[in-house]
Amino acid sequence: MGEIDIGPGATNRGTNRSALVTFVDLNNPANDTGVINSVEVWGYNNITGFKIGTFSGSGTSYNDRDYATIGSVTGGSKQTFTGLSIDVVTSDFLGCYFSDGAIERDSSGYLGVYTYSGDAFGSSSHTYTILDGDAISIYGTGATSTATISPSGIASTLAFGTAKLNQNILPSGIASTLAFGTAKLNQNILPSGIASISGVGSPTITAIIHGVIQPSGIAPTTAFGTPIISVAGLHIPPQSRYLVELHTPISQGWRIPSSHNDPSSAWEGETKAYDGSLVSGQAYTLTTNAKLELIPDSPLYTSKLRIYGGATNNGTPYNPNIVLDVYYSSAWHNVYTGGIQYDAWVEKSLASPQTIEKARVSCTDTLSASYPIKNFYVTEFWFYAAPSGGELLSILENAHSIAIEQSLNKSPVISLSLPAGDDKSVLLTRANEVWIRDIVTGDVIASGILDERVDTR
């Protein structure tokens, strides 16, 4: 993020301007879009009822975009106020109003200051009068950000200050649950249930079960016309270097919780923590160490957790300190204790995969429901199902005529043949995966599930 600055600067100037006037300073308009989080003011004497904010408009007509109420400002020196959240757009001007006191001012050598009699903050556009050549002692700095939105689905109770959400525009047809921040997807996307070792796309298998006419005295398990040799007790066609294996499907990947528990009743919007969306809202709490438990639909063999959350101090986001625990073997076990980056995916691994019943998260920072309001929030919380399955069921040692065909922009098709009497063919179903292994290198070069069986007897 870059730095924004706006306003002529808070300095000791040659004269002053008194209260009950809204000033819009034309000097040094905003250089970028984002949020002003710090302002400087130099009062000629003590000021009360001070407000400062950003303005947009043209000619003599201006309207305030956003502002903060500071209140009292000590006069006679530069005063700095931080922890603010004032929206600003490129070319906006900085302005202020105060009910008593005076502010430092120069009356020549500058671009000028527009004035309006009365408090113009929080109202509609007004017509201003120019003080040509003037400047007053105000200045703001902040940080640029991506475009911000406040979706209608965000409950008003979630807005502490002004909620800032990254605007992630998704291509047509891509589910919102797939894009967190800027989603980078390569073109080889594997369907659920297809192991990552399957290679490009999602291979299907055409298994051809056919009859072979055997001469008298030749065992029916021997494919006539296809020479068979014995390799480690297996029948491997010599013209092929491939071995066909049947395995249970491999299951792995991120899983969203199905329910929650709020044992201290200290959280709001709990279901927002696992609705699969980064823009629908957040679960939040104003209570230190309040634990939110997230529960999968059944005990889950888990290797790591991921959380997307953060904290705010009167609307300004900051990196919270959290505790992550998981529950297994009838006890809670700590996974991580420490700080996390706000509004970014953070992953924490278990020491070893465990079959967990639930997980929980809490914040150890001092939170508060009174000014300044401080809260901890969770936008999404997921479990990673560690790889399981893939057990070897059988080896189709009589498979032959094994071929892998790849057409442009299509998934690979694997085909193979078995003798009609092969008793292992009953395991060749859509419930199991077929792996093609290179017997020279030992690598699995393709895998997939049954697409078609043809009996050619």
Q: What is the pLDDT of residues 439-449, one digit of tens each?
A: 888 888 888 88
Enter the DSSP assignment of 90. T
Residue labelled with tokens 């007004």: 126
Q: Is 393 left (phi over 0), alpha (psi -120 to 50) or beta?
A: alpha
CA-to-CA dists, residue 422 to 205, 310, 427, 436, angstroms = 18, 59, 10, 18
Reported as a pLDDT band with limits 50, 70 and 90, residue 386 is confident
Using a pLDDT cut of 90, give the percent of the chain over it: 59
* pLDDT at position 153: 52
Using a CB cutoff of 8 Å and minimum separation of 24, what contacts does 147-155 make?
148/87, 149/279, 151/279, 151/280, 153/279, 153/280, 153/281, 154/280, 154/281, 155/268, 155/269, 155/281
Q: How far is CA 131 from CA 103, 116, 194, in A?
A: 15, 11, 71
Q: What are phi and psi of 349, to 5 degrees?
A: -95, 145
329 versus 186: which is more confidently predicted?
329
Q: List the single range of 230-234, 334-338, 428-432 with lowest mean pLDDT.
A: 230-234
Tell me the C-alpha distance between 219 and 398, whole Å.
13
The confidence band for 415, taking pLDDT boundaries of 50, 70 and 90, is: confident
Residue range 165-176: average pLDDT?
49
Q: Which two tokens stand for residue 261?
A: 């528990």
Cite the beta strand spans of 274-320 per DSSP E. Answer: 283-285, 292-295, 300-313, 316-318
Q: Which of 419, 425, 420 is nearest to 394 (CA)?
A: 425
* Measured distance CA(384)–CA(344) in Å, rounded: 17
Which letter, b or e, does each residue of 311-325 get, where b requires 16 or more Cβ atoms within 10 Å of its Cβ?
bbbbbbbeebebbbb
272 φ, ψ to 5°? Answer: -65, -20
Residue 251: pLDDT band (50, 70, 90) is confident
The three state secondary structure string of 210-246 is: ECCCCCCCCCCCCCCCCCCEEECCEEECCCCCEEEEE
Query: Residue 73 in contact with residue 46, Cβ under 8 Å?
Result: yes
pLDDT of the residue at 173: 57
Task: Read off the tokens for 348.
Answer: 């924490």
Closest CA to 422 of 259, 126, 219: 219
52 by Cβ neighbours in 10 Å (0-12 / 13-18 / 19+) ranks as buried
> Is 272 in a helix, a strand, or coil?
helix
What is the predicted pLDDT for the residue at 425? Answer: 79
Amino acid at 272: K
Radius of gyration of the chain (CA): 34
Q: In the chain, what percentage of residues exceed pLDDT 70?
A: 78
From CA 307, how far away is CA 226, in angstroms rounded?
Answer: 57
H/E stretch holding 433 reads strand 433-438
What angle (nearest 5°) sits at the alpha carbon of residue 106, between those of residues 102 and 108?
145
* Mean per-residue pLDDT, 228-248: 59
Helix (H, G, I), strand (E, B) or coil at 322: strand
- Beta sheet of 21-25, edge-to-edge order: 126-127, 61-73, 47-58, 93-97, 21-25, 113-117, 129-131
**DSSP H or E stretch at residue 375:** strand 374-389
Residue that the structure tokens 């007790």 belong to = 233
Of 23-32, 345-354, 408-417, the least confident: 408-417
Q: Which distant-in-sequence residues (6+ apart) come within 8 Å of 171 by Cβ?
A: none
**HSE-up of residue 385 (Cα within 13 Å, Cβ side):** 17
pLDDT of 172 above 80: no
pLDDT digits (tens, 9 = 90+) for 345-382: 999 999 999 999 999 999 999 999 998 899 999 999 99
The answer on pLDDT for 192 being more than 50 is: no
- φ, ψ (nearest 5 deg) of residue 409: 60, 20
pLDDT of 63:
96
Q: What is the mean pLDDT of residues 396-406?
A: 82
